[in-house]
Amino acid sequence: MALIVQKFGGTSVRDRDRILNVARIVAGTRARGNDVVVVVSAQGDTTDDLIAKADEITHEANKREMDMLLSSGEQISIALLAMALQSIGCPAISLTGWQAGFRTDRAYTRARIKKLETERIESELSKNRVVVVAGFQGINRYDDITTLGRGGSDTSAVAIAAALHADLCQIYTDVDGVYTADPRLVPNARKLPSITFDEMLELATLGAQVLNNRSVELAKKYSVNLEVRSSLTDVPGTIVKEVADVEGMLINGVTKDVKVAVISILDVPDVPGVSFKVFSLLAQRKINVDIILQSIGRENNKDLIFTVALEDAEAARALLEENLARFGGHRVLVDTDVAKVSIVGAGIQSHPGVAARMFETLYENNINIRMISSSEIRVSVLIAKEEADRAVAAIHSEFFD
Amino acid sequence: MALIVQKFGGTSVRDRDRILNVARIVAGTRARGNDVVVVVSAQGDTTDDLIAKADEITHEANKREMDMLLSSGEQISIALLAMALQSIGCPAISLTGWQAGFRTDRAYTRARIKKLETERIESELSKNRVVVVAGFQGINRYDDITTLGRGGSDTSAVAIAAALHADLCQIYTDVDGVYTADPRLVPNARKLPSITFDEMLELATLGAQVLNNRSVELAKKYSVNLEVRSSLTDVPGTIVKEVADVEGMLINGVTKDVKVAVISILDVPDVPGVSFKVFSLLAQRKINVDIILQSIGRENNKDLIFTVALEDAEAARALLEENLARFGGHRVLVDTDVAKVSIVGAGIQSHPGVAARMFETLYENNINIRMISSSEIRVSVLIAKEEADRAVAAIHSEFFD
């Protein structure tokens, strides 16, 4: 008998039929002799509807009250799923975040889990019940309700799996696993049977929106085996774990990210401290900088070029123009017609030729590389946005066909 | 400076405009130097919508899960009202039932408050905040969410007023007070400036649906001054308290209740024990019997006639017919074309002629009385349903014009 944590997102519980479908999956898992803890998100559009209600009243809602409001969403879905399980003869009980023992810090709307007190969940499991837990929420030390921010339900599921030493944490989603590329883009993309935490982290960061980063980090930290699988088709998904089964695979995936912008600060003085001033200013405003390129100084001037998330581009532009005199720069340019295409895989580290093969493929396809960045298991290039799909297909074909 | 508890029902917070209206009332009360605790129900149709969601999944929803589901409704309204208060510059904080300290027994869907732990509410009041509390809900000793059943938010408000020794508990509703009769029925019905708890209890029981009975009983027990007033017009309402201000008023109100049925068991043997058997059987099935009339025995037989709530009539008929042989009865008749018309007032006790004046008025208007019942401060008559409105108008005219 194993202990399995199963997490279902908002679309998986969006209406009666989907809830009953989830109940059948959960009851089936229990019928095969497993203990099951289920983590669910708010139904379909519930969270958006609640945000709209708050927005009607004030555009600057207090964050504590926002968490009070939003946490009602999961409370509805856990009650409905518990009822659905009971209606098909599967003993079940629902628990809110605070009942399930989620203690967080006090950062409303983006709280971090500090501790999971598992007594209640364990007591319900010992009564042979499926425990249905509200994801995304907890309470802080003032007994006030907090929410965990984007992807919070994944994090809740992994935290439970870690605390209970679960054998497996299954993340049910719209797709049936992690693919070597976006199947909508690359028809012969392959589903990976397994992938390492580090590879998954690089993929998640790069725009493969299957799993939330925080949850993968947590899973890695506590060695929780994850499985990404579909709630609509009963096929094995992708296992995410410390060491992947398939060695020798050079790369695991090709991704593109078009939500990126290139910012260039032209003609800044080629003296020490300029980069520090620019990047510390951006960091103060919580704007993350990704790839950085600094031109070689000429005539005592240089250009500072870097990428930011598309949504931060205008804020970054305004901030830099305002402070341009402090850097001694002359002009700020923002280019949003760019895309970041990346390859991810543990093989990159051990096989030095992998990056070169990627660059060669782009060259053969006449695609110009504007910037490059790499980590031990990832190589990213910045190219023109209109060439991104062609680049992904060509690179995928080079490594997988 | 006074401490005032204000309760607003579902229609008073049904949308953005109504919530902002409530916020203005509350902020105004605070601006006049009072400490304020606000109790709110779920918005408009929220509870019905949630029940419909459960009903789509199962017609026999587990009561614990039902309470988990329904309690999300008030959580939404407290968050929205707190936001609305903050948006107009009034410091406020929302608390769920469990955060506010409502400890109940474990009777899901109809729990009773066992204890109110007021530390959190008092701590928030001491920070000069309006405290917005979710009505209708609490937690039991297993830390599971319970709801208080029909009229629960009124009860929550009175419980807070009692525990904090509040100066006043204002129940905001659709009507602006307690009237001598239903104003839709009797155009010259008058609003009562004050009424006693006992009179209010009799009126509530008799179908004047202004205040829930449990809340009036609780207010009486702990001597909480209540005020029934409107959230839409800023006029004084009706004060409910131990001793009414106006002495000498013979009666306080005339009410009618058409949700009543007369059951007759014909030709039961005129021997001891028959009434006991009939009424204990009904009591076992939780069917309350109101007015009872027993015909004088003739030829060793008698008729047993009594009233029950209309909704219990068919269950009572089935139960009695099934057991007719046990009583030795011959036939069960159910008449639903009846109405109970009542007068209520402390003056009835001290002025023996009041009941007679009521009967005389009915006689003068050619309205036949089928049954009579009375308490110290109430006289009720059972008459034909089609004559009920005429009877109410005539009696009201006799006592108030």
* Amino acid (1-letter code) at residue B192: L
A53 in contact with chain B, both atoms CB, cutoff 8 A: yes
**The pLDDT of residue A247:** 55
Q: Is-contact A277 A326, C-beta < 8 A?
A: yes
Cβ of A65 and B50 within 8 Å? no
Least confident of A305-309, B86-90, B191-195, B346-350: B346-350
Supply the pLDDT for residue A207: 61
Contact (Cβ atoms closer than 8 angstroms) between residue A212 and residue A154: yes
**Partner-chain residue, chosen from B65, B72, B120, that has the shortest CB–CB distance to A83:** B65
Cβ–Cβ pairs < 8 A, chains A and B:
107
What domains can you pick out in chain A, each with its CATH number? 3-173 (3.40.1160.10)
| pLDDT tens digits along B26-50 | 999 999 999 999 999 999 889 999 9
At A203 the pLDDT is: 81
Rounded to a whole number, what is the distance in Å from the CA of A75 to chain B's nearest CA?
A: 6
User: What is the predicted ipTM?
Assistant: 0.80
Judge whether B21 is closer than 8 Å to chain A, CB to CB.
no
CA distance B23 to B77: 12
Please indicate whether, in this complex, the C-beta atoms of B68 and A57 are within 8 angstroms of each other: no
> What pLDDT sits at residue B207?
60
Residue A393 C-alpha from the chain's centroid: 23
Q: Report the candidate in B222, B223, B312 with the shortest Cα–Cα distance to residue B262.
A: B312
Q: What is the pLDDT of residue B188?
A: 87
Burial group, residue B315, by CB count within 10 angstroms (0-12, 13-18, 19+): middle
At residue B206, the pLDDT reads: 66
Query: Among A387, A399, A397, which residue's Cα sits nearest to residue A339?
Result: A387
Which residues in chain A are closer than 8 Å to B61, comparing Cβ atoms?
A: 83
How many CB atoms are located within 10 Å of the residue A314 CB?
Answer: 12
Give the per-residue pLDDT at B105. 95
- Please give chain A's pLDDT, 401 residues, in tens: 799 999 999 999 999 999 999 999 999 999 999 999 999 999 988 999 999 999 999 999 999 999 999 999 999 999 999 999 999 999 999 999 999 999 999 999 999 999 999 999 999 999 999 999 999 999 999 999 999 987 899 999 999 999 999 999 999 988 888 888 888 888 888 888 888 998 888 887 666 667 888 899 999 999 999 999 999 888 999 999 887 665 556 788 899 999 999 999 888 887 777 888 888 888 888 888 888 877 776 677 888 889 999 999 999 999 999 998 888 888 899 999 999 999 998 778 777 788 888 999 999 999 988 888 888 788 899 999 999 999 999 999 998 88
> Which chain B residue's Cα is nearest to A83?
B61
In this structure, the strands spanning B35-40 and B3-8 are parallel
Among the partner residues A65, A78, A93, nearest to B82 by beta-carbon distance: A65
Tens of pLDDT, residue by residue over A81-109, are: 999 999 999 999 999 999 999 999 999 99
In the numeric block, which tokens belong to residue B244?
A: 């009414």
Q: Minimal Cα–Cα distance from A83 to chain B, Å?
A: 6
Q: State whether A93 and B66 contact (CB < 8 Å).
A: no
In this predicted structure, what is the pLDDT of residue A378?
Answer: 87
Among A54, A68, A99, beta carbon nearest to B78: A68
Partner-chain residue, chosen from A62, A75, A93, that has the shortest CB–CB distance to B83 = A62
- How close does chain B come to A65, measured CA to CA in Å? 5
Beta strands A194-196; A238-241: pairing state? parallel
Which of A17, A21, A45, A53 is most worth mutating to test chain B (most B CB atoms within 10 A of its CB)?
Answer: A53
Q: What residues contact residue B92 under an 8 Å CB cut-off, 6+ apart?
A: B26, B81, B82, B85, B86, B129, B130, B131, B132
CA–CA distance from B276 to each of A106, B271, B281, B283, B317 (Å)? 62, 11, 8, 10, 17
Q: Which of A68, A79, A86 sits opposite B68 (nearest CB)?
A: A79
Nearest C-alpha neighbor of B102 from the set B37, B69, B147: B147
For residues B279-287, give the mean pLDDT. Answer: 86
Q: Residue B155: which pLDDT band, with cuts at 50, 70 and 90?
A: very high
- Read off the pLDDT band of B13 (50, 70, 90): very high
Contact A345, A250 (CB under 8 A): yes
Is A17 at the interface with chain B, CB within 8 A?
Answer: no
Note the pLDDT tens digit of each residue in B169-223. Answer: 999 988 888 888 888 888 888 888 888 998 888 887 666 667 888 899 999 999 9
pLDDT value of position B208: 62
Interchain contact B61–A (C-beta under 8 A): yes
pLDDT digits (tens, 9 = 90+) for B242-252: 876 655 567 88
Q: Does the distance separating the beta carbons of B72 and A65 come in below 8 Å? A: no
Q: Taking phi first (over 0 means left), then psi (-120 to 50 degrees means alpha), and beta for anything else, what does residue B269 get? A: beta
Nearest to A135 by CA among A54, A78, A84: A78
Interacting residues of A41 by C-beta distance below 8 A, sequence separation 6+: A8, A9, A10, A13, A73, A74, A77, A135, A136, A153
Residue B116: CB atoms within 10 Å:
18
Q: Does A281 touch chain B (CB under 8 A)?
A: no
Question: Do B87 and A144 count as a contact with CB atoms less than 8 A apart?
Answer: no
Q: Where does residue A164 fall: left (phi above 0), alpha (psi -120 to 50 degrees), or beta otherwise?
A: alpha
pLDDT band, very low/low/confident/very high, at B298 (cuts 50, 70, 90): low
Q: Do the Cβ atoms of B56 and A84 come within 8 Å?
A: no
| A62 vs B contacts (CB less than 8 Å) | 82-83, 86
> Are B79 and A54 in contact (CB < 8 Å)?
yes
Please count the CA atoms within 13 angstroms of the CA of B261 that sit on its side-chain side: 19
Choose among B374, B200, B356: nearest CA to B382: B374
Residue type, B390: R
In angstroms, what CA-CA distances link A316 with A141, A288, B190, B218, B386?
36, 10, 67, 61, 77
Place of tokens 């009564």: A127
* Other C-beta atoms lying within 10 Å of the C-beta of residue A285: 11
Calculate how close chain A gets to B7, using CA atoms only, in Å: 20
Q: Is the pLDDT reported for residue B349 higher than 80? A: no
CA distance B90 to A394: 60
- Across all residues in chain B, what is the average pLDDT? 90
| Residue B342 scores a pLDDT above 60 | yes
Kindly report the nearest CA distance between residue A18 and chain B, in angstroms: 11
In this structure, the dihedral spanned by the alpha carbons of residues A310, A315, A320 and A322, taken in order and rounded to 10 degrees, is: 160
Contact A258/B at CB under 8 A: no
For β-strands B338-344 and B253-257, DSSP reports them as antiparallel
- Please answer whether residues B160 and B5 qualify as being in contact, where contact means their C-beta atoms are separated by less than 8 angstroms: yes
Q: What is the DSSP string of A83-108?
A: HHHHHTT--EEEE-TTTTTEEE-S-T
Chain A residues near residue B86 by CB distance under 8 angstroms: 58, 62, 65
In whole angstroms, give the CA distance from residue A228 to residue A205.
16
Residue A54: closest CA among chain B residues belongs to which residue?
A: B80
Interface of B with A in 108-147 (CB under 8 A): 120, 143-145
SS3 B139: strand
**How close, in Å, is residue B142 to chain A by CA atoms?**
10
CA pair distance B360, B395, nearest whole angstrom: 10
Residue B344 is encoded by which pair of tokens? 């209520």
Is B93 in the A-facing interface, judged by CB distances under 8 Å?
A: yes
CB atoms within 10 A of CB A165: 10
